[in-house]
Chain A
């Protein structure tokens, strides 16, 4: 018995030494090591495809659009229109912004296409892109379009297709007791510059003249001397990307101090400032502290009507009108922002931001200014016909048949011109060099 323990102990020591050597080697030739702990071999096929009858011969998706010399396993050439879809499981991962709507879409799609199951994992936009890049999901999802660096990170030879699938708005939510003891309800007025100064820490109390100047005289007189507590997301978030992008466009001080918008911006130091995880955390923090303000996705406020301490304000658009976000004025922003200049699905969408397109637009007088699109990501060359056909069908169903399902939660149906671009993008998706959809 003793000897067994000695052997186990020896193995432990050896294992630790091997681990140490392994770590040391990893560090010593770290100059060109990929930072991502990616598995050395890419997953053979996307999960869920086990139920499919088509065997996949290659471990890496064959990505060239031209017919590849490798023999096709079965004699199935890509049929022209989608025939009856074979059973499939689609796995997606990405932003949390779309998660409430995705959970409405999943059962509705299951009803329409009972043989296809869609799983969605709301891991966050950045993680969604990572999982998409590692090819462990059938589709990725992100609130910010893929950046140049993220395009570079794609497996060589592959092309990502960006498909806007929905849109939402970010509102300045607050919890404020007025000087006369009543609670400030919806409708406190803000401009981008004032919001930027609040989050920069240069406006620190609610009765600051800069805030008072935006309000009606009766509200301005009641603004208290309460300290402003700013609340933002502690995790990376597409919601924050939209909000920060708006501040970046609205304030040159913000632009120089904070820099280009990102999903994890480097927030400036304000005197009273906290960060909380997820939209729910931000909402909880705001509603628990008198004088708090923070950016929230509108779906969260609409889901929680009747909250006694959580209200949201208007934001001035480029035409100078104070707009309280609702489905129709978010829709107006989409119309204005997507009227022209939309790239093709297989091109980069970094230039497309509703805010970039609308922050100087003075003709759309009724639009709400902080609006964000959210995108699905799929590979142009699908390596498995059954999966690819199911994926294209699901995306097409989202874009064409189910945009109205989210209006109750503050998601705005895509305008016709974006739907047109989406449909063109879906036709780019190929199997074996032939478009799946015609």
Chain B
């Protein structure tokens, strides 16, 4: 026993630890590089960078607010449209298709497939199909009938916050519905049976027993979807119109943090590049925050479920 040979388990442990440390190192390096790259921008513009509304690169005037606004607004539209749909899909599959496992399974796969489509394909589809469709059959009628509401007051031309939001909604549905489905499927049957034994209808069981039981997990899925919407770049860049704008009018072109980076990083130099890297830093922190929140909610869900079971 004096010459203890490195056993398989030990080697495995070392390998796994290395892999884990590598990822951690990567994240740290990423953050450090973003800090370093944006240092001169942070130094010269300070907090005014965050609240400035003008972005004029040729005059070195940089304000990130229109892009933060665009990111938040398009993500909000995506959530408002996408969340009810994914909730509906998840409830349908896990509650209504209980007796038809194969069909439910197939439907779940189809929804998940949406997540496998590359975002540039969504962008192309958005440009050639979604934009004309929304412009002619949704935006124009809304504008004509409800144009007095500031949300719909603009002249609709398709490349705008609304289209980006709808496209994002389609892209976040698989994320949100998959998590929601998983959460609903771990709700113990005893919960449902108890409600049924009291004479509740299907909807009452879902509404009063299943959803409350799973609500923190559903919220976790919601946050993950939001994180996806924040970070999505290519598809949004192709349909948002890329004009920095702060307006309540949904039918107006806008820009997001990620679309700004995608558009301008390649041509940037000096302080301009530093400003764009600072935009990346802002996005990094927003994404970190959102994902952290999601982890926290999921952790609460699992520990909560164990507590109750």
Contact = CB atoms under 8 A, between A and B. Distances in A.
A274 B253 CA distance: 6
B127 A30 contact: no
A36 B276 CA distance: 11
B35 A277 contact: no
Contacts of A274: 157, 159, 241-243, 253
B267 A125 contact: yes
Interface in B17-32: 17, 20-21, 24-25, 27-28, 31-32
B101 interface: no
Nearest to A8: B20
A267 B253 CA distance: 14
Contacts of A126: 266-269
Interface stretch (A185-193, A257-265, A409-417): A257-265
B24 A15 contact: yes
A288 B128 contact: yes
Contacts of B293: none
Interface stretch (B54-62, B91-99, B175-183): B54-62
B37 interface: yes
Given A27-B43, A235-B267, A281-B238, A11 B36 contact: no
Q: Which of A22, A153, A237, A274 has the most CB of B within 10 A?
A: A274
Q: Secondary structure of the A side of the interface?
A: mixed
B50 to A, nearest CB: 15
A271 B40 CA distance: 35
Given A26-B39, A30-B39, A285-B159, A19 B58 contact: no
A12 B40 CA distance: 28
B58 to A, nearest CB: 4
Nearest to A235: B263
A270 B262 CA distance: 23
A266 B54 CA distance: 10
Contacts of A266: 55-59
Contact of B238 (A15, A127, A150, A276): A276
A15 B28 contact: yes
Interface string A9-47: 001100110110011001100110111110000000000
A26 B253 CA distance: 36
B216 interface: no
A260 B243 CA distance: 20
Contact of A153 (B40, B42, B269, B274): B269
Q: How large is the interface on A (under 10, 10 to 19, 20 to 34, 35 or more residues)?
A: 35 or more
Contacts of B267: 124-127, 235-237, 263-264
Contacts of B266: 123-124, 126-127, 235-236
B242 A275 contact: yes
A288 B158 contact: yes
Interface string A78-92: 000000000000000
A272 B155 contact: yes
Contacts of A289: 157-158
B283 to A, nearest CB: 16
A277 B233 CA distance: 12
A273 interface: yes
Contacts, number: 157
Nearest to B58: A262
Nearest to B31: A19
B306 interface: no
Given A236-B268, A262-B58, A274-B159, A35 B42 contact: no
Contacts of A33: 36, 39-40, 43
B39 A150 contact: no
Q: How large is the interface on B (under 10, 10 to 19, 20 to 34, 35 or more residues)?
A: 35 or more
Interface string A108-128: 000000000000000111110
Contact of A19 (B28, B39, B43, B268): B28
Given A4-B13, A275-B243, A284 B158 contact: no
B243 A30 contact: no
A393 interface: no
A234 interface: yes
Nearest to A266: B56
A163 to B, nearest CB: 21
A281 B272 CA distance: 24
Nearest to A29: B39
A195 interface: no
A149 interface: yes
A267 B42 CA distance: 25
Contacts of B128: 284, 288
A126 B272 CA distance: 11
Given A27-B42, A266-B57, A276-B242, A227 B273 contact: no
B58 A260 contact: yes
A35 B155 contact: no
Nearest to A12: B24
B270 interface: yes
Contacts of B272: 264
B223 to A, nearest CB: 21
A4 B10 CA distance: 11
A265 B253 contact: no
B173 interface: no
Interface of A: 4, 8, 11-12, 15-16, 18-19, 22-23, 26-27, 30-31, 33-37, 123-127, 129-130, 149-150, 153, 227, 229, 234-237, 259-260, 262-267, 269, 271-277, 281, 284-285, 288-289
Given A8-B20, A36-B269, A274-B253, 6 more contacts: A23-B35, A26-B39, A30-B43, A36-B270, A126-B266, A264-B57
11 contacts: A11-B24, A19-B27, A33-B40, A35-B270, A36-B274, A262-B58, A273-B243, A275-B243, A277-B237, A277-B242, A281-B238
